[in-house]
Every structure is written in structure tokens, then in C-alpha cells.
Amino acid sequence: ASELEAAGFSGSVVTSVGEVETIEAQSTTTPGPTEAPSGMDTTTLAIIAIVAAVVLVVGVGIFLKCYRRSSKVDDVEKALLYKRNGSALVGLLIWELGDFSELSADLKGGSKDSDIKYTVSPSLPKGVKMDEDTGNIYGKPEELRTSQSYNIKAVDAADPQKSWSCSVMFEVTEKAGIHYDLREEMYVGEDVQCAPQLSGFVDETDITFDAVDLPGDLKIKRGILVGKPEKAMNLDSYTITARHKNGQKASCHIQFKVVERPSDTTVSNRVTECILEKGEECTSHDLPEELRKDFEAEVVIGKGGFGTVIRIKEKGMDTRMALKMIVAPDKKPFGDKEKQRLMREAMVLKKADSPHIVKASRQGFSDGDRIFFMVMDLLDGEPLDERIKRGDLMTESEAVRAGMQVLRGLLEIHSLGVTHRDIKPGNIICTDDDEEAGGKRYTIIDMGVAIAAEKDADKNFQTTMNTKGGTFAGTVMYCCPEMVNQYINNRPGLTEKVGPYVDM
């Protein structure tokens, strides 16, 4: 057997008592590497190898996914985030100026017994603070801030290696507001369209509007109050709210009543009865019929015994003017002499070419000649008598500048052959004007008692001291002695001629 093994053969030798049997062994030579095992070809082996590779790749992918998920969960457990009203902050937070709010810190993964300290950079807006122990951010912003990211870090004082951080982004804006420039009085069947005036919102998109208990014939469409009142109703108040998707909100109250429409050809009795008060809102029916197609009435800015001054707006434009309306005594039509006197004032104001005289652009009679109207430039200022009442006295240099400007206006009036006859603080308006020395402009108004002067033999302008009816013209406390001397002594000569110097 050992010889057979050494020869490279294998086999067996069976012996029996007295017999020896030799069996020929087969060769045990190992097959070469290119030879496939019995019953398996090369294609099968390739398929097995591919399947094994796929299984390996899938297994590795599943392992990595589970590892990452485990890491993410671990990160969340150790995350620092902020909440407002219980909801996590997402994206940009809008914080309104002067509006109190609190952002609460939510730290996950920190021990309750840990001494956590919080810091923030850059510095928070004025009026907003951070509690370094809790991390809460709170307060009322006192200054505007554009969109800014604030980096917040929490550190475990016992183990500085443990820290958490996050960023909060917010913007401090003006407090949101909404207003409707709506008349207090509407008419049955009137086509109402009133758009809101918004302020403080980051933008005017993504805003929704809702109103509480509006009458059924009025509604809010994209913020615009529209509809036609179908019946008269008493004065009532309604609330309209605007909400932006970023959380900004503003509300306002509108108040109006609905009345029957008056005749289209007459001015409202609020004008003819002189019952409109200063600051009261007006309607189109408070205007003369001749002006309704071109102007909208806004508010009363002046009132007298026989007249009213209303601020009006030119339709389709942002131009505002002053409308002066004078009602005839006893509500009877003006006579020819009164009409001439009123038209004289308008003509002077139209012809005058001076920055120190108010300019008129349109005038006429309405309502059967019972009302005289005149459209003038709107002066955004106050009469000097109001300043005097406040005790706000002028310095000497201011008084000189004011006097020089009034003199320039009088020079223009006198060059037109007219004497004003009623120069007083109440008829001089002071407005802001950077082009004038001292930044103030003084303008003469109200030519109601002005009169055309006549030339004497020396070609000097002369005028009378009183009206044709013998009524004193002017204001006694501010007129010159020549104008009152004969009148107060009850002497003849009330029509004595004097010069334009009476305006000085």
C-alpha cells in the first residue's frame, strides 16, 4: 500500500487467510482550475457570484441607513430649538414694533440638573432681552430691524464640552394697521367701493380679510368694501380684520349709516343750514351740482356764520383743493351787487401772480344763486391768529420776514387796482416752505370785502371805507383809524375816499 501511495495510486488491498487479492487503483490527480465541478458550468458560477454581490450591497445599504437614522434621532434628542405660543419657529418670524412676545427655548438632551447658560449674537434689538438661564427671548422691540439671523448657543457650565446651538431669524416691522377712508353717511342704492389703507405689513400679498356682521348687501372682496345698500339703516359699527400668512394681524372699526338720497339738483341742507362742523366728513351732496362730476368731498376744514370751507379731492388724481361756499342771507338768491362783490374776490385771486396770495381756479353760483362757491389752492398750515391764541409769539426776525412777505402780497393786490380792507392775523396763513427764509411762507386769503379802487386826479388809487349799503367793511380791531373815525363818531362822509394804505 505504501508503494502504491508513493506511486500516486490509491486503492485497497484485501487479504484473506492464505490469499492475497490485488485490486488496481484509480488515479487521484486533482482537476485543474479551469475545470468545472461535475454537473456545474461557468454560467452558473457567474450567476451565483452576481447574486452574492447584490446581497452584500443591499445589506451594507440597510446598515448605513439604520446608522444614519439612529444618529439623526440622537441629534434631535440633543437639539436646541425655539417655540412661539407652543409652535416651533419655522422660517422668518415677524415681530411688530412695540408688540410684546416671548420665544421659549426648548433644549433636548440636557440634564435637568445641568447648569446651562445661553448666549446670543449679534445683539438683540433694543427692548428685546434673553434670559441667560432659560434661554427665553422676550420683550417689546423699540427699534426697527431688517431680517436678521441670531445665533444662540447653550453651554453646560459643568461640562463645557457639552453645547447646543441654533439660529432664529426674525424681522422687526412697523405695527400693522388697516384703515378705511369711508364716509359716515351712505345713500340707498349708492355703489360703494372703498379700498383699505394698509400699513406696517411686510407686503400686501397673502393677506386675507374678514368682516363681522356687515349688512347683507355689503361685503369684503380682497379687502375692498363693495356693494349697494338696499335700505336705510341707523348708524352702526363693524369690525374688519386683515391677517397675513406670516402672523401679522390688524383690525379696524368702520361706522356708517344709510339714508335716502336727496335730490340730485340741490346742495344738502347741511350746507344751506350751515350745520356742518369743522372736522366733519362730507358727501358729494354737500357739493354744488356743478362740481360733483370733477371733485369728491372729504372733510370740513373751516366754518363761519354764512359759509363753509371743505377739503375736496379731484377725481382720478391725488390733488386736494379747498372749496369755499357762502350761503345767501335768508337763503334767498344773491342780488346783482352781492354777486358782483363775490365774483370780484374770485377774479382777484385768479389774476394775482404771487406766492403770498392764495390762488383761485374756479367759481360760480349754485342752487338757484343761493350759494356762491370758489375752488382754491389748499394751504396746509394755520392762520396767524391760532398761533397768537397759543401764545406762540414771533421773534423780531420772524416778524420782519412775515411782514415782508405780506407786503409783497399786498403789492400784487394793489397793482390789480384792489384794496383788501381786512388784513388781520386770521386772514394770513403760515405754511412750511424751505424755499422761504426761515422756512415759513405767509399767504393772504379771504378777499371777501375787497373792493376795486378808483384813480383820483393824481392817478392815485382811492377806495371807500365802507360797503355801498353803509355797512362797515373790515374788522375794527385791525383796521386803520381813517376807516373808523367818521363811522364811530356818527358823522357824514362814510364814503370818503382813502388810499390802499388802509391795508398797511
Binding residue positions for ATP: 324
Partners of 170 in the β-ladder: 93, 148
- Which grid cell sits at 139? 420683550
Q: How far apart are CA 455 and CA 447, in angstroms?
A: 20
Q: How far apart are CA 294 and CA 310, in angstroms?
A: 15
Strands 249-259 and 185-187: parallel
Q: How far apart are CA 220 and CA 240, in angstroms?
A: 9
Count the Cβ atoms, other than its own, within 10 Å of residue 249: 14
Partners of 66 in the β-ladder: none
* Omega prior to 31 cis, within 30 of 0: no
Long-range (24+ apart) CB contacts under 8 A made by 251-254 are 251/178, 252/177, 252/178, 252/179, 252/180, 254/180, 254/182, 254/225
Count the Cβ atoms, other than its own, within 10 Å of residue 233: 14
Residue 420 region, left (φ>0) first, then alpha (ψ -120 to 50), else beta?
Answer: alpha
Partners of 210 in the β-ladder: 241
Q: What are phi and psi of 53, to 5 degrees?
A: -65, -45
Query: DSSP states of 266-303 as a string?
Result: S--HHHHTT-PPTT-B--GGGS-GGGTTTEEEEEEEEE
> Which residues, at least 6 apart from 249, have a Cβ–Cβ distance to it below 8 Å?
176, 241, 242, 243
> Which residues, at least 6 apart from 205, have a Cβ–Cβ distance to it below 8 Å?
none
In eight-state DSSP terms, residue 500 is: G
Binding site per annotation, positions: 324
Burial class (CB in 10 A: 0-12, 13-18, 19+), 181: exposed
Q: How far apart are CA 288 and CA 311, in angstroms?
A: 14
Burial class (CB in 10 A: 0-12, 13-18, 19+), 234: exposed
3-state secondary structure of 345: helix
Q: How far apart are CA 418 and CA 409, in angstroms?
A: 12
Report the candidate in 437, 444, 354 with the shortest Cα–Cα distance to residue 401. Answer: 437
- Do residues 193 and 222 make contact, with C-beta atoms less than 8 angstroms apart? no
Q: How far apart are CA 194 and CA 191, in angstroms?
A: 10
